[in-house]
Structures are given as structure tokens and as C-alpha cells.
Chain A
Amino acid sequence: MLSLSSLISKASSLIDPNILPPSLLNQVNGSSNDGQTPAVLFRSNFRLPDSENPLAVIPCELSLPTGEHYFGRLHLSESFLCFSSSAPSSAAGAGSSSSSTAGPPSCGFTLPLVAIRRVERLHSRSYLFALAVTTWHNDQKLTLQFNSLRSTCEKFCEALKKNLRSQMSEMKNLRMLVGSCYSEWLVTGGKSKDGAKEEPDAGLGMVWRYPGDAKKLRDRSKMRLWAEYLRENGRNITLIRQPTFHKLIRVGLPNRLRGEVWELTSGSLYRRLYNPTLYTDTLTEFSGRHSLSIDEIEKDLNRSLPEYPGFQSEEGIGRLRRVLSAYSWRNPDIGYCQAMNIVVAALLIYMSETQAFFLLSTLCDRLVPGYYSQTMYGTLLDQRVFESLVEKTMPILWEHLVKSDVQLSVVSLPWFLSLFINSMPLVFAFRVLDVFFLEGPKVLFQVGLAILRINGEELLDVTDDGAFISCLKNYFLRLDESAHPRSDNEKLRAVTRFQELMVVAFREFSGITEQTITDQRIKHKDGVLSSIESFAKRTTLRNLGPESKRLATNDLGYIYDRFYKVLYERQERLAAIELEKERLNEKKVMSSARSISEKSINEKGRIGLGPSSQLMDYDYFREFLAGVAKWAIADSPSQLFSPSLGASLEPQWGGNGRKKSINLSPWGDNAEPADHEFMQRLFRRWDTDYRSGLSLQDVVAGLAGIKGKKDIMESISYFFELYDDDGDGKIDREGILKISEALLFITRRGWETPPNIGDQNRSGEGKGGTDPFLGSVSGFIRRCFEYADPDQQGRQEEVSTGVEGMDELVDLLDLASDDEDGESVKSPVKEKGVMKEKQKDEDMEQKDSLDLDANTKPSAMSANIALDPANPLHITLPTFRMIVLADEVLEYFFETGFADSIVLSTDGSKTPSGRNFPAGTSAFGNLGGGGIAGAKGLRGVLDNIVNDGMRVAQEVRRRMDEAQKELERNAVPGKYKEDEEDEGDAKSIMEGDRDLLKGAEASVVDDAAKLAIKTGLPEDDAASGTLLGSPTSSMATTHVGEELRTPSTPMPTRVEFEMDK
């Protein structure tokens, strides 16, 4: 016997693994398939949790205690040992009603490592490498004989050993889980070592009876068959799937085992194993909390399978409420969708709350992805797939439906969405579910197609939706009738319409495989998402609120597109950057972690897929602005953000040979946005709900506030309010300076000047002195200080000194304006500045004795007496208005220039290009050097202005001392601090914000790193994983052959490793 099997094993090992029968397993080891990574396929084949990755695989022969042998492959993941036979075994009866090559492998197991008690190396034949595995249920011993190179075998064992050890800690969970399984109770007869136990919860049906007539369903004989199967082949966690297992499921599960087998075949059992307290913890954590989903659930509790007595009771309703609520908390992206209530209610008839909770999440994540999402894209997608399958398999019917303008999905959508539960009588719907959990979503398609096929002739007579629906409704009501009532053959007469349906579904449509569905989904995904998106856009734009009425429709459309483009592109980009970082940091781990991240990248980034985050934080906002306003684009593409990316990235996006297609700058291929205090103010102003994020509505309302204003007075007030931090109608000295800086910032690339001064402006370019806007701004400052109201009496004189002081600076700076070379700009400034500073330091010392930073801090401020914080002053809105209107250029700016500086859809040509500004535009971009650009916000602007040659003179003239300070200190850490303390509360909040933003970035990065560690393998495992991961080639087989011939030293029984638990 053994020699025969070894012969077979030899023969089979000679076969190239790649031409083994078309089991999906080949793809597990092969290259990825249509975006499905091997890891994803692996997990879906064995129904494993998302944390599992294929670490090693080895060809192997499985011998069962019952005497069967199967050839196949043994897979190892972090916490599972899985086997799948490679060919439909000869033992599988070809005559069985439903066997099909497309079905799941005929034999296999998914064994959690924690359920393995002991692994022994067998000594049977020294040239064979075999293990005996004893599982949790002691009575079961599996023999695994490897067909591979000895070294490969040994490596596999090493990895297995390591993983077995790491799983020891899960023992407690295993005990809990097994105790809750009905099969355990069934086989042990309710007795265990710990004494007699209560019958485990097998759903509401235990109390309120299971649907259908138990006698007619032959529940008792089914139960006996199952008990026998479970005794021989292990149960719950240790169950081996043999062909009988599939057959037993096809004939319908017995009531009390149904829930558990659903769990087992869908894989939700394994989720429950590793998260034993997740359900109860969730309920505790969120108890008493409210959400939209909770309200929606509450509405539907009384109307979920209301005809089932269990759901007319408080107990049943309570269970339903708890499961739906817990899931909505755990997955807020989905929350609650009608139809889930029906599905969960159905599950609860056969299983406990905890079981239903995990099965629901398996459903939503894996079996019917996207069905219950916000946009229900999965539902719509599968409808499209179903339609295309109907078209392919029943072209005549399809043509008829198209001709009659009958929409197939009006009938089929509820089938899929509620898994036939409210279409068919419950007993039959559960039979479909039995197979659905075993074989996957293709079952829904097969059954759907079979329904149409069987009713095909009648449907060809139907010419409208109504008749179409009622035809099928009638059919469902008569599923229990004989399919051939008039047949002479008694056996044929006994066949019910439901049985006929199953046969047609799984035999005639056996060609519909999981792969078919996957391919079709990929094919139609784009189209479906686009149509959802255009619908979403239409509805969203209509419901943007009253503010949006101030903008043109095409502007709104433009904002909408831009908003989501930035949002999703940036999300994707950041994810890609993180990925890249991970890869660089932990190359070894990547193979596994990568597949997960890749998936998550693909799964986001479209509105049609439902919301991920719908808010823009400040950086998103900057990127958004940079696309609509040229002033929001940074002057010099700085390396500011590269430190946060890690130095290792720099060579990559510097453009060396192996640069990837993704631009790894946080801004992608787009121009880097500026970061100016003004933009932060805009952000905060638009962030009406103080969420530190802008919704589309916020952005629209914000833009409407600027572009929708036709009146210059409104526009002036808007600007004023922007700078009136405490809303008291006053802007202080610092605010005035900030306004001027903002004005210069916005116009630094030029703006739509009024015709009469436009020429001047243009010709004056490069000669800073003649720019009228600059003149206007300095005039503005002067007047502001002139007309400002003092906060206290007796400060008037000092203020005027301040103005004089400024004039003085203006003179001093004539020097600089003639020479635009960066160095020479800096040096005179520095010189003068140092003098000034010393002088001021002396002045200030006495005043700020309390402050620790007194020496450095006030000096910058007091360089200009007008800036002296000891002389508070402010302007009011009327003053501000008057000053603006006093200047023609400013007036024009507020009238149209500001609004026009933001370009929406109306004029495409004005839209700033997405590229970095050509060097010419910011010819002075690099003058300041990266160091200065490092100071963001207020000082950053100043630097930008310094960089912008044509304005050098006036700007520096105005705040020369500060510029000097900046230059001097720019390498000194703590310059932010200086700013902060200088300029009072408003400023410090801003700095705080910025730190927060930075902190957020850092923490994102941190999280990513953690994730990599969590999901990735420990280094050693990864190494062995790669080694073992490669499938044995023909090379390997020859080696095995050699080994067979070479008699090696006889080995005594050696227990290779043992884990007694």
C-alpha cells in the first residue's frame, strides 16, 4: 500500500505544477491575476482572515485516518495550515448530483495552528519526509507526506515550528470557541472533561422553531449523517472537507448545525476565533451612543422577517438590534443598509449573536463586497455583471427584454441584495445560502440565471416590467411543487421545482466560476462607478445649500471635480508614499504588507466607492487652492517636505534611474502649494464647523464668499473679518501688517490690474520701485497707522514716531533695491539690522524682565516703533474701508482683483497649470535659499517677497529688521518660538496649528510603520517564507528521485518537534 502511494506521489511530483488541473491554487503561487494578488486569492480560497499571508507551500500527500489519500498542496500562513487537493479525487462520486470541476477543491482543510496538538516526524521510510499531525480533537491523526526536496521540506517544517510556537498563546480562545460550537455538543453528547454542558446557542430557532417542517426536511436523518461525518473527519475548528462534506451541504443543512457550518464554510469562524471578545466589547464601548445608523436600525427592527415569531418577541428584536448596531459601529463606512436587517434576522434564526456578527462582517467584506456601502456600488456592479451573463448565456431572452424595455435589475436586484431571503420562501432561501457560504458569490449568479432559464419561455411572452415581476413571483411561490407533475416516472414526479432549480444552477451554469465573476466585475467596474458618480455629482450640487446659489453652475461643477480630485489623488499619493517608505525601511517585510496596502489603495479614491474621508485638512486645502489661484503656488519648489519622507526617498524623486511612475512628492505632479498665513486664515474661516477639515459644502460656501460678492464693500468687510481674530471689530498693529503681507502675497505674481495702470505695472516689472501696487500697500500701512485709534491714551506720539521710523527704513533700503543679487541683498540688511537690534535690545531689556526670552524676542518687533507692542493701536472697519477706498489700486483690487485671482471653470486659459511654475516666473525663487523658505507663514511670505526681486526694496524697507532677524536666525531652532511669543495669542494658535499638522503627518507615518510591523512577518519567517514560497520545479523533482534511490542512514523515530498543549 505504502509503496503504491509513494509511486503515485513520485509520478505526481514529476508533473510540472503549472499544468496541474485548473485549481486556483496555481495562481496562489503564480503571478498575480487581474489585480488580485496571490495573497488575496490565497485568503479567499481558504477563507482566511485578512491578516494571513501565504508563507510557504509544499506539494504533499494527505492520508486521513479514514483511509483516504489526497494529493495536493500544503500551505502555511502565520496562523494556519491549509491543505487543498489538487485534482478532483477519484473518490468523489461522479454521479453525485452536483459535483463539478468548478466547485471548491474536493478535499481540504483550513487548520488554525492553535488547533494542532502535536506534530511528529514519521520514520516510516527514511527517504520519505512525512509528518503526523494530531489535532485538537485527539481522535484525529493526519499524515502529511511531503513531495519535495529534503531541504525544502525541512525549511517548511522550521517555519511551521516557529509559527506553532507563536500561536500557543491563543489556546484560551480556542477552548472558548470550541465550547460554543454545536458540533462539539453533538459529538460529545454534551459531556466534556469539565462535566456536562449546556446545549450551545444555535439561534432563535431553538426557542421559536426553525422554519419549515422538520420531518419533511428530514432533519433527523441529516443530523445523523452529519454526526457520523463529524466523528470521522473532525469538527468545527479541525474539520476536514471531503467530497461528502460538499454533498451533505448540497442536500441542505440540518437546523441546529446550519449556523456553525455557515460560519465554517464562509471562514467567519476564524475571525471569531481570533477576536473572541470583539462583539461584546463593541457593545459595551458604544452602549448608549447614538448615530444615524442607530436611528435607521431602530426603524427597521420591527420589520425584519416580521412573520417569524422570534421577531415578534423582545428577545429576537434585541438580538437583531445588538448585532446590527455593533456592526455599524465597527464599520461606520457601511453603517447600516436596509436589507442587512433581513439578512441578519435570517442568520439569527440559526446562530448566536456573536456568530451572526462575524458572519455579517465576512459577508460585507468578502462575499458581497460593496453591496451595502453608501453608494451600493457592489450591488449595482453585480447587477451589471448579471445582465452581461444573461446576455451571454440567454441571448434570445436578453434581446427580448431589451426590446420590451424591461429592466432586468428591477427583479434581480432584491435577489442579490437580500440573498434571496425575501424573494423565495425561507426554507429554500436557506438552502441557497448553504451553498452560497460554501462556494461563494458565484452561487447567487448561478441561481439567478437558472431562475431565468427555467422560466425562459414564459418570460418571452412578457412585455412589461409588471408582468415580468409577477411571473417570477408566481414561480417562487410554487417552488415546493413537483417540477414534472405529469410525468409517468414516479421519481421524476417527486423532483420539486426547487431541486430542479438547484440542478440547473449548478450543472447547466457550472461554467460560471468565481473567476468569471471576478473578471466580469473588473470589466464593468469603471462604467458602474462613473454612472454612480455622475448621479452623486448631480445630487450633491443640487443640495449644496443657499450659499452655492451665488456661484455659477459650471463653477460649482468645477469646484466639485477639483475638490474630489484633490481629495482622492492626495489620499492615493500619501498612501503610495507610505508604501514606498515602508518598502525602503523594511524591504523584507514588504512582500506581505504590500499586498494589503495595494489593495487598500485600489479600493479608495473614487466617489462611487463610497466615502472614505470627505474632509480636506489644511494640506489638502493648500493643494486645492494651488489649482485655482496662482498665488497659492509656492515660489520655489522647496524640499520642505522631504525630511518627513525620510532622507532615503530623496534620490528617488530626484529622478535617478529607477524612478517609479508615481511622483513621490507629497504634491505629486502638481505644483507645490504655498503656505501662507493668509491661506491658514482662509482655511479657518471656511471651516465653519471647527472640524479642522473642509467639506465640499464648506469650500463652496467659502468660495461663494469671495467670488460671489459683487459689492466692493462686502469684499472689504470679508477681508477685514478675516483678520479680526476676536471678532471685536478691531484689527491691531500686527493684523495690519499681516493684511499688507497678504495683499502682497496675493498679487506677487501680478493680477488683473485696471487698464490705466496695467501698462505701468507691466513695464515696471523687474524695477520694484515703480510697482504701483507696492506703492499702494506701503501707502496703506502708513495710512493705517496714521488713522489708527490707540487702544490707550497718550500713545499717539509714539505711533507717529513709528511712521517716521519706517520712513527711515525706506531710505536705508534704497541700497538694496538696486541690486538684486541675493547675497548683496542680505548683507546690507544684516549689517544695518545688527546695529538696530543692539540698540533695541537695550531699550527693551527693562520692559520685559519677566520673560525668559526677553533678549531675543521683542527686538524684532521693536525694530520699528510702530510695531512696539507697548503701543497698542487698532483700526476699525470704517477706517479700513476708508483707507482702501482712498487708493485707486487697492479699490480696484477689492472690487474685482481679489475675486478674479481665483479662477474657476469660467475661463480655462486662466487656470493655473498643474505644473510647477516655470523657472522664469519665479526667477528669484532660489535667491533666498531653502533655509529661509523653511520659515512658513508670516515670515515665509516675507521671504517669498524677498525672493521676488521686483519687490525686494519696499518690502524689506518696511520690515527690514525682521528680515534681518530672520536671516540671522534661520538656522537656529526655535525661531517659531520667537514668533509665537512676539505676536501674541492669535499667532501662537497658528503655530500650534502648524505643529499639529506636522504632528499629524508624523503620526501618520508612525502608524504606517507600525502597520508594517504588525502585518508583516517577523524577519526570519519572511526569509524562510521566500525560500519555501517558491514552488518546486522539475529540478526539485529530480532531486527527490535521487533521494529515493540513495539509501540514507536509517533513522530512529525522532520526534522532530512536539507541542503538547
Chain B
Amino acid sequence: MADGPKPSSSVKLVLLGEAAVGKSSLVLRFVNDDFQENREPTIGAAFLTQKCNLPSRTIKFEIWDTAGQERFASLAPMYYRNAQSALVVYDLTKASSLAKAKHWVAELQRQASPGIVIALVGNKLDLTNQSTGLEGSMGGLSLSAAASDGDEEEEEEGDARQITTAEAKSYADEEGLLFFETSAKTGHNVQEVFTAIANAIPESTLKTRGGPGSGRTGGGAAGDTFGGSGGVNLSAVGETNKDGCAC
């Protein structure tokens, strides 16, 4: 995929959200373009990588897919430390999952690296009425506003949707988050989420490397040492990224 002289850099991305909202499925769709109906719940966290080609550069996502169950929350800092971007996922068909997503956003805003790019993602669009037909037409859209506009009109009966686009969108705007509604099952909007994140990462936080494929991780924090790292350190989270760009 990645070839030519384009600069390549690694970006650490973490997925957070309530259990069974489809975090792992989103990653699987993005990384392998695949979908499995019954995926084992993530224990602790799973790690995957995938490249994302932008016109000007290549971003290699190092994806930390975390466990969603409430009690795993205390492990999350281990995974989101040094993260430059985060996907906070909720389930469009489950009202409580947005509340949980809001907690995660708050947690990230206070505890994660400053300047972290956060995307709010409502998954399982396929279970709502507007799932079909939109797939093709939405391709290429990378910004939230466009994605949500199209969706709003079509809400009808028999819809499993519990969270309206408007509600989530207004929250995302308030907090300055990227916003998408996706379906990991159909693949709708999945690539777009990651592309949007790649675009939103400020240039200055990227450490460019000589060429693609090098085993060395750039990351924002490569050189930094964390106080007493190596411990199961829940409280110390990075003060690494110097750039505080809001997205």
C-alpha cells in the first residue's frame, strides 16, 4: 500500500466504549475489511496496526482495542497513555452507551495526552432504517456534518435506533469531537472515520520516519519516560504531546 517517498508516521489510537458496541468489529473492518458476527469479547486489550494513505503522507495506526466492560475501566489508562487519537464508540441502538461514551470523553480530555484527537462514533447503523443504500453515497465524506445531515430525515418506525443523530452530533460539536455514524457490519463510514482522524492529527505531533515499514514506532512519546513506568500505573498519564491543537 504505502510506497513512494511519502513520509510515514505512526499514530497511536485507542478504542473506548461500553461493552459490545462493536469496537473490535470496527477495527476488524478497518484492518481486514472483514466482519464476524460473534467475536470473543476483548480481554484486556487487543493490538492491531493498519496504514492509512493520505495525499501528503502515510499514517500507520497502532490500534489499541480495549475491553468494554465497566470493571475493565481501571485498566484503560494503561492503553490510552501516549495515545494521539481515540475512537469513543457507542451503540446507536442503546441509549446507555452514549452516556458511557461521554464518560470516556471526559476521562480522555482530562487524563490523556493534551491535544488528543477524539472521534465519537455511533456504531450499528445497519440496525437502523437508514442503513441500506447510503453506503455508496456517503463514501469519501470525512467530516461529521455531512454524514449526519443525510441521516436525519429518514427516521421511521420499526427502527432500533435509540440515539438520534442530532443528539449525538450536538454533543460532539460541544466537545469538539469528530463525529460519525458507522456500521462495522456493512463497512459504512468505517474507513472514513480513520481517514478523518489521520487528517486531524496535527502535523507537529507526528514524528516522521525515513521510510515506511520500519519497525521503529514514532509515537508522540517515544523518548519520554513515565515516572516509574513498568508498574501497573493507573494514575500517571502522559503529559507528552506538546501541541495542544483543538480539532
Chain B residue, CB-CB nearest to A306 = B38
Residues from 71 to 96 in B contacting A, C-beta threshold 8 Å: 71-75, 77-79
Chain B CB within 8 A of A991 CB = no
In the complex, what residues of B have CB within 8 A of residue A528's CB? 232
In the complex, what residues of A have CB within 8 A of residue B20's CB? 299-300
Cα distance, A536 to B234, chains bound together (Å):
10
Query: Using an 8 Å CB-CB cutoff, how does the interface string of A330-355 with B read, 1 for contact, 0 for none?
Result: 00000001110110000000000000
Q: Contacts A376-B71, A536-B74 given: A306-B107 contact, CB under 8 Å?
A: no
Cα distance, A532 to B234, chains bound together (Å):
7
A542 and B106 within 8 A (CB): yes
- A85-93, A402-410, A440-448, A1018-1026 - interface stretch: A402-410
In the complex, what residues of B have CB within 8 A of residue A387's CB? 230-232
- Distance in Å from the Cβ of B37 to the closest Cβ of chain A? 8
- A219-227, A465-473, A913-921 - interface stretch: A465-473
Chain A CB within 8 A of B32 CB = no
Q: Contacts A375-B71, A405-B221, A413-B75 given: A303-B39 contact, CB under 8 Å?
A: yes
- A414-422, A561-569, A817-825, A847-855 - interface stretch: A414-422
A405 and B222 within 8 A (CB): yes
Which of A304, A375, A465, A527 has the most chain B CB atoms inside 10 A of its CB? A465
Residues from 202 to 247 in B contacting A, C-beta threshold 8 Å: 215-217, 219, 221-222, 224-226, 229-235
- B40-48, B134-142, B143-151, B186-194 - interface stretch: B40-48
- Distance in Å from the Cβ of B101 to the closest Cβ of chain A? 13
Q: Contacts A376-B75, A469-B47, A539-B73 given: A338-B67 contact, CB under 8 Å?
A: yes
- Distance in Å from the Cβ of A379 to the closest Cβ of chain B? 8
Query: Using an 8 Å CB-CB cutoff, how does the interface string of A365-381 with B read, 1 for contact, 0 for none?
Result: 00000000111100010
Chain B CB within 8 A of A534 CB = yes
In the complex, what residues of B have CB within 8 A of residue A614's CB? none
Q: Contacts A463-B215, A464-B217, A532-B234 given: A422-B229 contact, CB under 8 Å?
A: no
A376 and B232 within 8 A (CB): no
B224 and A405 within 8 A (CB): yes
Chain A CB within 8 A of B19 CB = yes
A531 and B235 within 8 A (CB): yes
Cα distance, A457 to B62, chains bound together (Å):
24
Q: Contacts A306-B38, A418-B43, A536-B74 given: A384-B232 contact, CB under 8 Å?
A: yes
Query: Using an 8 Å CB-CB cutoff, how does the interface string of B93-113 with A read, 1 for contact, 0 for none?
Result: 000000000010011001100
Known: A302-B38, A410-B44, A413-B44. 5 other contacts (CB 8 A): A306-B38, A341-B41, A413-B75, A528-B232, A538-B235
Chain B CB within 8 A of A450 CB = no
- Distance in Å from the Cβ of A459 to the closest Cβ of chain B? 13
Chain A CB within 8 A of B131 CB = no
Which of B41, B42, B73 has the most chain A CB atoms inside 10 A of its CB? B41
Cα distance, A531 to B236, chains bound together (Å):
9
- Distance in Å from the Cβ of B67 to the closest Cβ of chain A? 6
Chain B CB within 8 A of A305 CB = yes
In the complex, what residues of B have CB within 8 A of residue A414's CB? 43-44
Contact of B74 among A342, A375, A527 (CB under 8 A): A375
Residues from 36 to 71 in B contacting A, C-beta threshold 8 Å: 37-45, 47, 49, 62, 67-69, 71
Residues from 391 to 441 in A contacting B, C-beta threshold 8 Å: 391, 398, 401-402, 405, 407-410, 413-414, 417-418, 422
Chain B CB within 8 A of A208 CB = no
A305 and B232 within 8 A (CB): no
- Distance in Å from the Cβ of B218 to the closest Cβ of chain A? 10
For the complex, count residues of A whose C-beta is within 8 A of B: 53
In the complex, what residues of A have CB within 8 A of residue B216's CB? 463-464
- Distance in Å from the Cβ of B44 to the closest Cβ of chain A? 4
Complex A-B: 17 CB contacts under 8 Å: A306-B39, A339-B41, A375-B71, A375-B74, A376-B72, A376-B75, A380-B74, A384-B232, A405-B222, A405-B226, A405-B229, A408-B230, A410-B79, A466-B217, A531-B233, A536-B74, A543-B103
A405 and B235 within 8 A (CB): no
- Distance in Å from the Cβ of B212 to the closest Cβ of chain A? 15
Query: Using an 8 Å CB-CB cutoff, how does the interface string of A472-510 with B read, 1 for contact, 0 for none?
Result: 000000000000000000000000000000000000000
Q: Contacts A376-B74, A543-B103 given: A338-B43 contact, CB under 8 Å?
A: yes
- Distance in Å from the Cβ of B113 to the closest Cβ of chain A? 14
Cα distance, A737 to B106, chains bound together (Å):
48
- Distance in Å from the Cβ of A1000 to the closest Cβ of chain B? 30
Counted as pairs of residues, one from A and one from B, with CB atoms less than 8 Å apart, the total is 130
Chain B CB within 8 A of A383 CB = yes
Which of B215, B219, B226 has the most chain A CB atoms inside 10 A of its CB? B215
- Distance in Å from the Cβ of A261 to the closest Cβ of chain B? 26
Chain A residue, CB-CB nearest to B40 = A303
- Distance in Å from the Cβ of A539 to the closest Cβ of chain B? 7
Chain B CB within 8 A of A296 CB = yes
For the complex, count residues of B whose C-beta is within 8 A of A: 46
Residues from 917 to 947 in A contacting B, C-beta threshold 8 Å: none
Which of A338, A383, A464 has the most chain B CB atoms inside 10 A of its CB? A338
Contact of B230 among A373, A380, A401, A418 (CB under 8 A): A401
B41 and A338 within 8 A (CB): yes
The prevalent SS among residues of B at the interface is loop
B49 and A380 within 8 A (CB): no
Residues from 525 to 576 in A contacting B, C-beta threshold 8 Å: 527-528, 531-532, 534-536, 538-539, 542-543
Q: Contacts A413-B44, A469-B47 given: A535-B234 contact, CB under 8 Å?
A: yes
Which of A380, A463, A464 has the most chain B CB atoms inside 10 A of its CB? A464
A531 and B232 within 8 A (CB): yes
In the complex, what residues of B have CB within 8 A of residue A303's CB? 38-41
In the complex, what residues of B have CB within 8 A of residue A300's CB? 19-20, 41
Cα distance, A346 to B244, chains bound together (Å):
47
A384 and B40 within 8 A (CB): no
Residues from 286 to 318 in A contacting B, C-beta threshold 8 Å: 296, 299-300, 302-306
In the complex, what residues of B have CB within 8 A of residue A536's CB? 74
In the complex, what residues of B have CB within 8 A of residue A384's CB? 231-232
Q: Contacts A402-B230, A410-B47, A531-B235 given: A467-B221 contact, CB under 8 Å?
A: no
- Distance in Å from the Cβ of B21 to the closest Cβ of chain A? 10
Residues from 599 to 650 in A contacting B, C-beta threshold 8 Å: none
A338 and B230 within 8 A (CB): no
In the complex, what residues of B have CB within 8 A of residue A463's CB? 215-217
B234 and A417 within 8 A (CB): no
- Distance in Å from the Cβ of A346 to the closest Cβ of chain B? 12
Cα distance, A353 to B74, chains bound together (Å):
31
- Distance in Å from the Cβ of A237 to the closest Cβ of chain B? 35
Cα distance, A527 to B234, chains bound together (Å):
11
- Distance in Å from the Cβ of A492 to the closest Cβ of chain B? 32
Q: Contacts A306-B38, A407-B229, A463-B216 given: A342-B43 contact, CB under 8 Å?
A: yes
In the complex, what residues of B have CB within 8 A of residue A296's CB? 19, 69
B47 and A532 within 8 A (CB): no
In the complex, what residues of A have CB within 8 A of residue B69's CB? 296, 337-338
In the complex, what residues of A have CB within 8 A of residue B74's CB? 375-376, 380, 532, 535-536
Cα distance, A732 to B170, chains bound together (Å):
49
Q: Contacts A337-B71, A410-B44, A535-B77 given: A467-B215 contact, CB under 8 Å?
A: yes
Which of A300, A374, A466, A538 has the most chain B CB atoms inside 10 A of its CB? A466
Top 5 closest pairs, chain A to chain B, by CB = A464-B217, A413-B44, A302-B38, A531-B234, A414-B44
Q: Contacts A376-B75, A464-B217 given: A539-B43 contact, CB under 8 Å?
A: no
Contact of A305 among B40, B43, B234 (CB under 8 A): B40
Cα distance, A463 to B224, chains bound together (Å):
14
B75 and A534 within 8 A (CB): no
In the complex, what residues of B have CB within 8 A of residue A535's CB? 74, 77, 234-235
Cα distance, A532 to B232, chains bound together (Å):
10
Cα distance, A45 to B28, chains bound together (Å):
45
Cα distance, A408 to B44, chains bound together (Å):
12
A409 and B19 within 8 A (CB): no
A338 and B19 within 8 A (CB): yes
- Distance in Å from the Cβ of A858 to the closest Cβ of chain B? 55
